[in-house]
A and B are shown apart, each in its own frame.
Chain A
Amino acid sequence: MSQTSLTARTGPSRRIATSPSGATWGSPTTYLVATVLIAVCIAPVIYIILGGFRSNSQITVNPSGWPDPWVLTNYTAVLTSSLFWQQFTNSVISAVSTTVGTVALALMASFVIARYSFAGRNAMYALFAAGLMFPLTVAITPLYLLIKNLGLTDNLLGIILPQIAFALPMTVIILVPFLAAIPKELEEAAAIDGASRLKFFVRMVLPLSLPGVITTGILTFVNAWNSYMLPLFILNDSKMYTLPLGVQAFSSEHSVDTAAVLAFTSLSMLPALLFFSVFERRIVGGLTGAVKG
């Protein structure tokens, strides 16, 4: 009966909530501020990418100039170097394994915390929550010794395992509210249909927690891709380097060849950027779910 009056009421007020047209906040100002903000955010990135298209003499003569003429040799040199592709592959292996491992382990543990009741459930949650206080910086030296004793230095497994372990707390904390929010009725309905809780986990929980999984998966992937301190301690052989170490080694070896450094740098940041832009939309959605609980 009040269908029409309802839509009539929400229509205009929603517009006020999302795009207020108050006199104090004119739209040109909004665009100006947004443009300046974006310029500041991406100018250094553009500088790195464009710098790779310049020659060293161009950079020396005019540090903040445009490529003139455009030089492709820096990029082709990097793209044809086997060391770059070796380090690229290492980064892919490390980031993908870390992401898959973290999400799988965290999802199972979060499922237990969110949907089983047993003595020690709160303690388990507290254990992971406390993990946020145990940053890599504190553990790095003994961790290095532990990995050395396990014989995993210069081995990608030596960075993957600790990366999973350190990504777990944040992932569990984001995933638990997602899993707890799945209605109890669904679980009961599944039980009536004769599904065990494990079956319920695979058939219902996995699809329903997908937004949270994607959010944590992206964050884990990007962090693993960019990881620096751990590989710095664990990997000594440049063939085993991941790209961040590769960039640093390359830039100290070619410190006079700025253009080559910039080309190497921009190629090594592209994968994480692409990966992120494809999934960006999901991140805000996933975090919103987590915040709403």
Chain B
Amino acid sequence: MSDSVTALPKRSSRSGSERGAATAATRSDRARAEVRKRFEIAVLAGPAIVMFLAFVIFPVFMAAYYGFFKWKGFGAPTNFVGFANYVVIFSDQAFRDALVHNGFILVMSLVMQGPAAIAFALLLNQNIRGRSLIRVLIFVPYVISEVIVGTGWSLMLQYTGAVNDLLTNIGLGALAHDWIADPSVAIWTLMVIISWKYIGFAVILMLAGIQGIPDELYEAAAIDGASYWQIQRWITLPLLGPTIRVWAFLSIIGSLQLFDLVYIIWGQYVASTAGTSTMATYMVREGRLAGNYGYGNAVAVVIFIISLLIALTYQRFVMRRDTEGALTGASGRKRK
């Protein structure tokens, strides 16, 4: 309601002298403006909402529905099995292994990428020569597709590949491994590839966050004689908090949904023996590839619920201040 103020000033300012006579006209104007506003909202927001409901929300609800059936994907599902699919999922050792792998990937992504990304962002925020070139180059792994990353790295990491050859050439031949197939190192190989692929994104986010910190704070600290490290510790890090929390949130969600890299490098079957399978590769293998669409959908629901629980917990306890600020900030601005 309060927004009709914005639509009205033109009328009221022009008809200033004859305000009394114009009230009736203004009222019908107001009604017309209201109709017009609703029409604009429908036209502007409608397409996005329809697309979103049709291709994102609807399929997710269908997954929940199909998950209660034993169903091969042909015709309508009729063989209702209740929670039987879910019982199978949680009693399947392969799924529990995948869940553990996802947990490992989640924690190690935060531990390996977070501190490194902050350090690199601080480094790249300095006024060094070729800074913009460095920024482009550090983002290269993020920009190239998972398929290319997977294809390239699996060629390099073969037992007879470039990495082992390089190690042998510099006298570290003893370190050569079958990086991809050996279950004792495979998940670490995956972690290195994930870090390599996604750290550029973290660095760019942190850089944007650092540049959003007002210069005045640094100037004040410099006047007070603070050292470089003191400034980073007491100004940059605390003010970078919201950015770090948003990055961690995106990283957590990404870790829980990880599919492409594992599927491309380890394929559908090797992943479980190499100890790198994830919930998503399990879902595709046991669902679509095995033709058990009902079961695959049940796995999808489990992934969704696990992600949602973790995401909500995280938002509730870690990001609460940030999101509150964002929402109240936006609505406060609007109400003014």
- Give me the interface of A with B, judged by CB distance under 8 Å: 9-10, 13-14, 16-20, 22, 24-25, 27, 30-31, 33-34, 37-38, 40-42, 44-45, 47-48, 51, 60, 62-64, 105-106, 108-109, 111-114, 116-118, 121-122, 124-125, 127-128, 131-146, 161-162, 164-166, 168-169, 172, 176-177, 180, 184, 187-188, 191-192, 194, 197-198, 201, 222, 225-226, 228-229, 233, 243-245, 247-248, 251, 258, 261-262, 265, 268-269, 272-273, 276-277, 280-281, 283-284, 287-288, 290-293
Contacts and interface: CB of A to CB of B under 8 A. Distances in A.
B228 A229 contact: no
Contact of A17 (B62, B120, B215): B215
B135 interface: yes
A291 B148 contact: no
B161 to A, nearest CB: 5
B212 A138 contact: no
Q: Which of B56, B165, B253, B304 has the most chain A CB atoms inside 10 A of its CB? A: B56
Contacts of A145: 62, 73, 293
A48 B148 CA distance: 9
A265 B146 CA distance: 11
A27 B123 CA distance: 10
B160 A63 contact: yes
A45 B141 contact: yes
A16 B212 contact: no
B124 interface: yes
B136 A137 contact: no
B21 to A, nearest CB: 22
Given A41-B196, A139-B56, A247 B330 contact: no
Nearest to B218: A17
B52 A22 contact: no
A106 B48 CA distance: 6
A47 B300 contact: no
Contact of B257 (A14, A41, A47, A137): A137
A14 B147 contact: no
A166 B336 contact: no
B123 A168 contact: no
Nearest to A245: B147
Nearest to A111: B44
Interface string B124-143: 11111000101111111101
Contacts of B139: 276, 280
A269 B218 contact: no
Nearest to A162: B55
Contacts of A105: 47-48, 51
B274 interface: no
A265 B155 CA distance: 12
Interface in B278-302: 280, 283-284, 287-288, 293, 296-297, 300-301
B37 A187 contact: no
Contact of A141 (B151, B228, B260, B293): B293
A265 B212 CA distance: 37
B204 A138 contact: no
A161 B283 contact: no
A54 to B, nearest CB: 11
Given A41-B196, A133-B307, A161 B55 contact: yes
Contacts of A248: 147, 151, 264
A41 to B, nearest CB: 5
Contacts of B242: 291
B123 A244 contact: no
Contacts of A139: 55-56, 59-60, 63, 300
Nearest to B138: A41
Given A64-B169, A284-B207, A146 B62 contact: yes
A137 B280 contact: yes
Nearest to B122: A25
B115 to A, nearest CB: 14
Contacts of B66: 141-142
